[in-house]
Amino acid sequence: MISDRLKANLKREFDRSLMAKLGLAIAIVILLLATFAPILATHNPTTTGQFDEHGNSYPPWGVTHETHTWEDGDDGRERISYTAEPSPDHYLGTNNIGQDVFSRLLYGARTSLLVGLIGTGLAAAVGVPFGLISGYYGGRIDDSMMRIADVMLAFPSLVLAIALIGVFGRSEQFIPDPIVMAGFADGMPEYAVLPGTVTLVVALVNWVWFARVARGEAMSVRSEEYVKAARSLGANNRTILVKHVLPNSLTPIIVLATIQVAAIILLESALSYLGFSGTTLSWGYEIQQGQDYLATAWWIATVPGIGIVLAVISINLLGDWLRDSLDPNIGGEGGV
């Protein structure tokens, strides 16, 4: 599947394109930061302020920076926020409940990447077979399958995702963190959190794009000589689909998968911004928390947003690189 010619194309495009190099570099850095978050984090990302006998919270790390008080609009009770500005203690400051923003940035990257990669994998696992079957058999099967896809496309993905979460409810799965388990990062959370429903929902919302692309490829491949040859040699449809149609359809599916990781990261952040995610260790959730503190602590909402933008830009750049090198028809110059 990865032929020598393809490798040569990938390399040529990579050497030629500054953007491809930049995209790969950012992506690798983010991947490393996310993987080794327990070691690199300076504080436990979930540790908040603690409470004294009066019920007031105080910061866990002796934050001495400016504290802000204000009248809460709802109950008129005065609350104290122990938001700390960026400092050597807290590289990127703390949020409104005293959690370290830098550490939460690293852990948020984990959530985004986990949902992005697993969600894309699930979407492809559903969409690709669906599209291949639809395009390969054609006719009435294709018609009815594509009507289902049309219905899916009539829902804006965010709207459908919200409705599905309304049905399934929020959930989170706990995955033991091997780095902490092995004793390399004491005091860090022992489990990585995967927002299960969100992962499932982004796949349910986005599989249809894979179906469309796979269908188009299957349609163009099915009348090729080698498929006819395989058929006349007595190969059954399943064998032809798996051994011939799928491998020859992979190129655009890989390009789509790359772009989908970015799309799903954006969707996940939007869902957690709206409060529909299962976990609070998420960039979108952090931005929502920070929105109330824009006037006093701009960094809470700003920092995780930069994380999202960098992650999505790097993936989009990788997608451009893949497309330019895998698809000689589109070419590098005028392609969108």
Summarize as ranges the residues that interact with other proteins (CB under 8 A).
147-148, 150-151, 153-160, 162-167, 169, 262, 266, 269-270, 273-274, 276, 284, 287, 290-291, 294-295, 298, 301-302, 305, 308-309, 312-313, 316-317, 333-336
Nearer to other proteins, 66 or 190 (CB): 66
Minimum CB–partner distance for residue 333 and other proteins (Å): 7
Q: Are 138 and 214 in contact (CB under 8 A)?
A: no
Minimum CB–partner distance for residue 129 and other proteins (Å): 21
Nearer to other proteins, 166 or 187 (CB): 166
Minimum CB–partner distance for residue 96 and other proteins (Å): 15
Minimum CB–partner distance for residue 283 and other proteins (Å): 9
User: Looking at beta carbons, which pairs linking 46-50 to residues 24 or more positions away fall under 8 Å?
Assistant: 46/99, 46/189, 46/280, 46/281, 47/98, 47/99, 47/100, 48/97, 48/98, 48/99, 49/82, 49/97, 49/98
Nearer to other proteins, 270 or 281 (CB): 270
Q: What is the C-alpha separation between 119 and 164, in angstroms, rounded?
A: 15
Minimum CB–partner distance for residue 26 and other proteins (Å): 11
Q: Are 223 and 78 in contact (CB under 8 A)?
A: no
Task: Please work out, in degrees rounded to the nearest 5, the angle formed at the alpha carbon of residue 314 by the alpha carbons of 309 and 320.
Answer: 125
User: Per-residue b/e over 91-118, b at no fewer than 16 CB within 10 Å?
Assistant: ebbbbbebbbbbbbbbbbbbbbbbbbeb
Helices (H) and strands (E) in the chain, counts: 13, 6
Nearer to other proteins, 189 or 290 (CB): 290
Minimum CB–partner distance for residue 160 and other proteins (Å): 8
Nearer to other proteins, 44 or 206 (CB): 206
Nearer to other proteins, 49 or 304 (CB): 304
Nearer to other proteins, 55 or 334 (CB): 334
Minimum CB–partner distance for residue 81 and other proteins (Å): 16
Q: Are 313 and 23 in contact (CB under 8 A)?
A: yes
Q: What is the C-alpha separation between 49 and 45, in angstroms, rounded?
A: 12
Phi/psi for 79 (5° steps) reads -120, 155
Q: What is the C-alpha separation between 209 and 230, in angstroms, rounded?
A: 28
